[in-house]
Every structure is written in structure tokens, then in C-alpha cells.
Structure 1
Amino acid sequence: MRLEFTKMHGLGNDFVVIDGIRQNVRLDEPTLRHLADRHFGIGCDQILLVEPPGDPAQALFRYRIFNADGSEVEQCGNGARCFARFVREQGLTEAREIPVETLGGRIVLHVEDDEQVRVDMGRPEFAPARIPLLAEAEADAYTLDVQGHSITLGAVSMGNPHAVILVDDVASAPVHEIGPIIERHASFPRRVNVGFAALRDRGHVDLRVFERGVGETLACGSGAAAAMAVLRRRGLVDDNLEATLPGGTLVLSWTGQAEAPVWLTGPATTVFNGWIDL
């Protein structure tokens, strides 16, 4: 099978984007892992698949996200921006407001005049059952036992599960030591993305994210939205926040109201188009 694709990135968080509307696509787990392999495949953090929507009255496309390990996940904010840029560049739509179906629910992508993409990431879900998190009651913070040490973290779903840990400095944060342990902690039955956040002030946060099924990435849009939600709920930041990740800066806004969505704005970049024989 010859598969056409586009390589894209959002602040260094890189993707293989595949048009599943104009070509027949069969992606099983070994194929997904091969595509993501940086030595023997194309190389990426995630594979994004464009498909027709299940309900054309509610969405223009279905947006599917697969991690480098072949697992399908619910949400990816950087991927969503690339998705919006892709469907316009490929002539699949001329719309600048693009509703899409995801495994985590319907989201809306807005392409601005400067071609940056603003994403309605949906409302944060803090109820443990919605994350999911095994906890007796909803709380601003939870304590986990990690190899005999108590780790305090916030937890939220942004369509996918996130844990957010406050640290003094992201450069020295134990991302690779405890990130994979918390990712697979028994308290998170569907695993979890782990963010390490250091506050500069009420409008700025530094962030590193260990992504579920991928490892640390240069940027994580849903991770930035999760950090905004957890920190805003605790009253540590204002309604507008800049999140600086290793790959660059994302802009977020959330009023803190229960029914309000988190908004995420940032760039999306096309690197090259190609094909691969599978």
C-alpha cells in the first residue's frame, strides 16, 4: 500500500497527517508504530487521520489521533491546529471555523487571519470518574505514592487525562524519572499525561509534559490547557496565560467558570509532503 502523508509540527510536537477521505487507509498497531519510528519509518510523536464525520450536521471531519506506540487517544491540541491547517491546505475545506469529531468529543478549530489556529478545547472535567482517576472525592489536589515518596498533583480531563505537578524549575524537574511512573500509576486506569509546571507570575508558566504513549514532547497543547485549568481553579493564574514549553509558547484563556471552554492559540507548520510504501 502506498500512503500519501504530510509531515507537520506545532512548536516541535510533530505529526504525520494522513488524508483518509481521498485515499483508502488501513492503520493497524504495527503500521502506526512503523510510521512513527524515527529510524525505520517517517518519525513523529503522533499520527493524525482525517476521516468523514459520523454526523455531518455537527462536524466537517472526524479527527483521530494515534500515539507513537500505536494507541488511539482522545485529544491533542497541537495536532488539532495542524489538522485545521492541513484540511485547508489540501483543499478539503475553505472554512475558517472547523468543527470536528474526536474520541474525546466535539471541538471547534478557528483559523485566524494570520493563519494561527485557535482551538476550543472544551470545558475542563475535574470529577475523578471523568478523568478517570481513582479517588474518593473531587479535590483541587491529590497525593500519590510514587516509589515511597508522596507526590502532590492536580488532575483534569481536557478530553484526555492529565496530571499537573507544580515544580520550582522545569529545567531540573524529574520529568523522565517520575513521568513514566505516574503515567502508568494504578490511580489512572487509562494512563495519564504528566505536566510539570513552574509559575513565573500570574500570566506566565513554564511547562514540560511527559505524554502518555509517547514520552516527553517539545510541546503539548492539551497539556498546556490542563495546566491552565488546574492553576486557574486554584486561583494561581489569571484568565489569560502564556505557557512556555521547550518548543515555544502557547496562549490560553479560561474564565474559570464550570461551563466555559479553555481556548488555546498557537502556530501550525507544514514541513513536507511525501509518500511511503507499506
Structure 2
Amino acid sequence: MNGAGNAFIVLDRRDASGPAAYGESGIAALLDVHPFDQLIVLDPSSDADADLRVWNRDGGEVGACGNGTRAAAWLLFEDGAKPQLSFTSSGGPMRAQRLSDGAAEVDLGPARLDWRDIPLSLPMDTMRLDFGVNLPDGGRLEGPGAVSMGNPHVVFAVDDVLALPLAEIGPCIEHDPLFPDRVNAGFAQVRDRDDIRLKVFERGAGLTLACGTGACAALVALHRQGLVNREAVIEADGGKLPVRWDTEGHVHLSGPVVLERELDLRGL
């Protein structure tokens, strides 16, 4: 499946007897079958409609994936699930609802803003970090906001996102010692208070066509800096993602989903 171009394998194991686990070798075997950014696995849950786990293409398990959760919710809606769903995950509980146009909107829970929640390696104001990265042309990006959406993000407000050498600077940010769990690096160009152009260098995946939690983090970080409203459309390379940060602090994400094909993964 894909959500705004963000590619997934979604494995529905709700009728299984125990949770699955994937390491680098298992992920590599799946990549031989079909290229993807994240593996989404649905396991049975006693507290929700399903337990949702996420692995990046490098074999690392992560706490949240916004577009992957949308894709999983859409799949369950198409399978006859009730129009309101709940998921448990290592990043916290999440809920989903089916919209009138058939799309799935997910409530990824509250944005986490304390430096320990990101996490950072030292105390710092997450609204505007005392952190920056040098550009190859001699310029510098500074003062990103930091947000955890169940996974860590920093978001730089930039003048022209398409002019940046993201493949060069992304790994430097991802692996900086300030971020002990590594970090997803977002680069957001504010075109209007409800219109944002975004690219994200994802930890463990690199540049992808879209990042759902990155879109959520961008809205929260930019709103905290006074640059955008609490609701906006985030345009990624793969499509547009409507995001809203409600007054109770929860962040909601919707957008397009495509079921590409079904895979036979027996024997892997």
C-alpha cells in the first residue's frame, strides 16, 4: 500500500496467536519481494481493535507511523470494520475514523513537547532548539522545533525546501549526539498560514515521498513558532496531507491511500 506515496507492506496478523518480530534479515527478505519504506504489522490486542507495530527498511522498530496507520485503518474499514477504530502501539494509543469520502483520519494522540519526550540528550527549549546544521554552500539552518509524535522529529522552517541538499545534511541531523534515539528531520516551507511544503529525511529510511508523523510534527512545531494556524494542508512529494492540532493537544492526520497489490509472503 501507499499513503501519499509513502510505501508500506501491511501484514494483517490479527488471527495469529502471538506477536511477530522482524530483524534486519527478515526486512531484507521482504525488500527482495517489494520495495517499501515501512513494514506495518497488525497483531491481536485485548485493549483495541489491533496492535500496530512498525519497522523501518533498515530493520529498526519505531513507535509510530502516521501514513502507515492511515493505510492500516483504511484496510480494516474496507474489510468491514466499524467506522471508529482503536490501535495500541509502542508509541501510545491511536484512534481512527472513516470520513464521509471514505478516507481514514487517524488521531495520533497528543504531541509531546518536553525535551525528555523527544528525547534530547540535554535539557533544551523544544519550541526552538539551540541546534543547527551547516550547509555545503556556507549557509546554516538553525532553531528547529522538536516534537515527538511517538517518534522523534525536528522541523526547520526554510525559505525554499527544494533548494536544500537534504540527502547530504539529513544523515548529519539524524545521527547528531543531541538525539540519542536518532531523529527524523523535517524541512518546511510556509507558503501561507494553512499551506506548507514539506520534505522529511526519515531515520532509518532516508528521503521518502511523504511522512505522516513528520507532517504532524511540522504543523505543531510551526504553530508553536507562530508561523501557521492549528490546521493546514501539508504538501509532500507524494500528495497532500490535511493535518489539525486540536485544542486538547491531539494531532489528526488524513490523506490519500492506495492499495497497490496483495503479496504472498509465505515462506519468508
Q: Contact 1:155–1:162 at 8 Å: present in 2 too?
A: yes
SS of the residue 1:63 aligns to: strand
Is 1:31 the counterpart of 2:22? The answer is no
Cross-structure match for 1:158: 149
The gaps in structure 1 that reach 5 residues or longer are: 1-7
Distance in 1 between the 2:21 and 2:115 partners?
35
- Residues 119-198 of structure 1: matches in 2 within 5 Å? 119-144=106-131, 146=133, 151-198=142-189
Cross-structure match for 1:225: 216
Cross-structure match for 1:77: 66
RMSD over aligned Cα, in angstroms? 1.8
Q: Identify, as 1 or 2, the structure richer in strand.
A: 1
1:88-144, Cα deviation, whole Å (9 max, x unpaired): 33x3x5211111001100010111132211111211111100110123332421132
SS of the residue 2:180 aligns to: coil
How much has 1:203 moved relative to structure 2? 0.9
Is 1:116 the counterpart of 2:111? The answer is no
1:15-41, Cα deviation, whole Å (9 max, x unpaired): 001121235756333111321x2xx33
How many residues matched? 261
Distance in 2 between the 1:150 and 1:175 partners?
12
Q: Contact 2:161–2:198 at 8 Å: present in 1 too?
A: yes
The gaps in structure 2 that reach 5 residues or longer are: none
Cross-structure match for 2:231: 240
SS of the residue 1:274 aligns to: coil
Normalising by structure 2, report the TM-score.
0.91
Distance in 1 between the 2:126 and 2:263 partners?
47
How much has 1:201 moved relative to structure 2? 1.0
Q: 1:138 to 1:168 in 2, by over 3 A?
A: same
Normalising by structure 1, report the TM-score.
0.88
Where does structure 1 differ by over 2 angstroms across 4 or more consecutive aligned residues?
Answer: 21-29, 134-139, 143-152
Distance in 2 between the 1:144 and 1:82 partners?
34
Q: Contact 1:19–1:49 at 8 Å: present in 2 too?
A: yes
Q: Percentage identity across aligned positions?
A: 38
